[in-house]
């Protein structure tokens, strides 16, 4: 199996059918797209949950570890990539989103499950939330323990993700993350632990619902527009957008280097309510006056950034990220710029909408 990353990778497609005693037409047809991650990780020792190689177990083995999947759905499986998700690339994002859209546009597939590494899962999920053009369910899942571990969490997470994708209640909810028995919206979910099995939370708003023992239940619905209700499409050239952090003793060197490199946008991982060290705030204001989109987010991990609160956005030409963390704010800014959005007023509307 080859590693995928950067601009060049190949897609090794593989079809896996799981036999079932139920009539085929009684079970939803779910495509499982594997991309790698710890869920496909392998360690030399079953007690090892930190030192292992991610993305080496194939989708056929992931499915074979969960025989009861056949009672839930007819599975069509594809190995889209085999990466550690820290190496997720814009090119692979394009390929993945295009594949999801192609599968969901046919009458043959009722929903998609994507197995992914936990490290950039929230970014991929939000990207798909904004660019999938279907109301059919798309559910990402992952694992904190490699497939070889004692008490590996991947098999149950995979079964639960397929259960969610196969459930009628998931239609129209946008892209979802099924992890550790909870169902999260792609917009809200973030990874909050480096090691715990309960590694994903939706700060402030909480999970959408839960999945357990073959049953998925939604306790609330997604409020903001997504998928078919956005203007974003995948396939346009990705604009250069980078993230800059604000911290004690921060200097303007990074901002100057990014502007000199020709980036079209900078997201600031600000302190507190998106406040920015004085030494880089002026450099960012200069960048904004030259047409670089500057978005204020926060490194705090929950809450929102109030426009004109901790910095005078109107005066400096900045945009507030609302409740998006810096990594999701970068996703939205790239899509908005690729869609032709320009200027703080138009970009602020995108952040207030999505
Ligand atoms: C990865 O993100 O691919 C590795 C870490 C994980 O999946 O937990």
Give, for ligand 1, the residue of 119, 143, 193 to mutate: max count of ligand atoms closer than 8 Å to Cβ: 119
Q: In ligand 1, which atom is closest to the CA atom of 38? A: 7
| Residue 348, C-beta contacts closer than 8 angstroms, at least 6 positions apart | 307, 313, 319, 320
What pLDDT sits at residue 6?
Answer: 31
pLDDT of amino acid 26: 82
From the CA of 231, how far away is ligand 1's center (Å)? 30
Sequence-distant (6+) residues with CB within 8 A of 258 are 242, 244, 266, 287
Residue with tokens 């006056």: 289
Q: Residue 130's pLDDT is what?
A: 98
Spatial distance between the Cα atoms of 162 and 65, rounded to a whole number of angstroms: 14
CB burial of residue 332 (10 Å; 0-12, 13-18, 19+): buried
38 part of the active site: yes
Angle between helices 344-353 and 326-338 (to 10 degrees): 120
What is the reported pLDDT for 232?
Answer: 98
**pTM for the full model?**
0.94
Catalytic residue (one of 10, 16, 35, 38): 38
pLDDT attached to residue 24:
60
CB 10 within 8 A of CB 2: yes
Ligand 1, atom 7: closest residue by C-alpha: 117
The string of pLDDT tens digits covering residues 242-269 is: 999 999 999 999 999 999 999 999 999 9
| Whether residue 38 has its Cβ less than 6 Å from ligand 1 | yes
Q: Which residues of the chain have pLDDT under 50?
A: 1-22
Contact indicator for 54, 148 with CB cutoff of 8 Å: no
What does the pLDDT read at residue 23? 62
Mutate to test the pocket of ligand 1, among 4, 5, 41, 197 (most ligand atoms within 8 A of CB): 41
Give percent of the chain above pLDDT 90. 93
Outline where the chain has alpha helix (H): 59-64, 90-104, 121-131, 154-165, 253-261, 278-289, 313-316, 326-338, 344-353
For residue 17, the CA-to-ligand 1 centroid distance in Å is 26
- Bridge-based pairing state of the strands 209-212 and 182-185: antiparallel
């Amino acid at each position: 199996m080859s590693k995928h990353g950067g601009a060049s990778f190949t897609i090794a497609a593989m079809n896996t059918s799981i036999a079932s005693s139920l009539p085929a037409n009684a079970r939803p047809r779910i495509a499982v797209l594997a991309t790698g991650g710890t869920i496909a990780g392998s360690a030399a020792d079953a007690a090892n949950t930190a030192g292992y190689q991610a993305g080496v177990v194939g989708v056929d083995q992931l499915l074979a570890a969960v025989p009861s999947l056949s009672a839930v759905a007819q599975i069509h499986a594809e190995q889209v990539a085999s990466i550690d998700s820290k190496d997720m690339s814009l090119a692979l994002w394009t390929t993945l989103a295009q594949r999801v859209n192609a599968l969901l546009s046919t009458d043959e597939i009722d929903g998609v499950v994507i197995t992914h590494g936990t490290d950039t899962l929230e970014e991929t999920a939000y990207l798909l939330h904004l660019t999938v053009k279907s109301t059919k369910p798309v559910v990402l899942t992952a694992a904190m323990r490699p497939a070889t571990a004692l008490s590996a969490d991947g098999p149950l997470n995979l079964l639960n993700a397929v259960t969610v994708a196969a459930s009628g209640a998931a239609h129209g909810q946008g892209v979802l993350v099924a992890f550790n028995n909870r169902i999260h919206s792609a917009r809200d979910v973030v990874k909050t632990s480096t090691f715990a099995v309960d590694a994903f939370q939706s700060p402030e708003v909480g999970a959408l619902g839960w999945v357990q023992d073959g049953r998925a239940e939604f306790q609330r619905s997604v409020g903001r527009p997504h998928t078919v209700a956005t203007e974003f499409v995948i396939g346009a050239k990705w604009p250069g957008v980078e993230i800059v952090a604000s911290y004690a003793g921060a200097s303007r060197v990074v901002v100057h280097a990014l502007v000199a490199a020709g980036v079209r946008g900078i997201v600031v991982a600000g302190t507190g309510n998106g406040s920015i060290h004085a030494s880089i705030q002026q450099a960012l204001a200069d960048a904004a006056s030259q047409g670089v989109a500057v978005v204020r987010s926060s490194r705090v991990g929950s809450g929102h950034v109030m426009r004109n609160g901790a910095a005078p956005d109107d005066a400096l030409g900045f945009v507030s990220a609302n409740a998006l963390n810096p990594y999701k704010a970068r996703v939205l800014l790239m899509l908005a710029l690729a869609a032709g959005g320009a200027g703080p007023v138009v970009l602020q509307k995108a952040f207030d909408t999505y």
